[in-house]
Amino acid sequence: SQKIEQNSEALNIQEGKTATLTCNYTNYSPAYLQWYRQDPGRGPVFLLLIRENEKEKRKERLKVTFDTTLKQSLFHITASQPADSATYLCARTSGQAGTALIFGKGTTLSVSS
């Protein structure tokens, strides 16, 4: 099966530090990886998308990398703030139009002040 795994269920860091979340995939090389943020009781919100031929993508304090050799994506939040506390979901999709996403279980990030 086309699995996608997020290694850590929870990550606790101090304000101002860089949070690094890991997403690994198996059995199938996705054309895209996407990262979403989900707050408790709410729907996920799209953050970043990275293509398999891209090494890195940035958006403000967010950075995502895609390593097809390691079959891994890393998601970084620099200068983290308590407001960054949420669950972050990694999702993969193929290169076909309109195909649904396959999600990991998520990593819950807690940033303490």
Partner 1 sequence: DGGITQSPKYLFRKEGQNVTLSCEQNLNHDAMYWYRQDPGQGLRLIYYSQIVNDFQKGDIAEGYSVSREKKESFPLTVTSAQKNPTAFYLCASSILLAEGGNEQFFGPGTRLTVL
Q: Which residues bind partner 1 (CB under 8 A)?
A: 9, 31-32, 34, 41-46, 49, 51, 89, 91, 93-106
DSSP character for 94?
Answer: -
Return the structure tokens found at 34: 């996407």
Question: 24 pairs with which residues across the strands?
Answer: 5, 72
Rounded to a whole number of angstroms, the minimum distance from the CB of residue 113 to partner 1 is 26
Q: Least distance (Å) from partner 1 to the CB of residue 38? A: 9
Report, in angstroms and rounded to the nearest whole number, the Rg of the chain calculated over CA atoms: 14
Question: Could you say which DSSP state residue 16 is in?
Answer: T
Pick the closer one to partner 1 by CB: 99 or 112.
99
* Nearest to partner 1 of 18, 26 (CB atom): 26
Q: How far is CA 100 from CA 20, 22, 34, 57, 61, in A?
A: 26, 21, 12, 22, 28
Would you say 65 or 104 has its CB closer to partner 1? 104
Least distance in Å: CB of 43 to partner 1? 3
Q: Which is nearer to partner 1, 8 or 81 (CB)?
A: 8
Minimum gap (Å) between residue 99 Cβ and partner 1: 6
Per the CB < 8 A criterion, the answer to whether 53 and 31 are in contact is: no
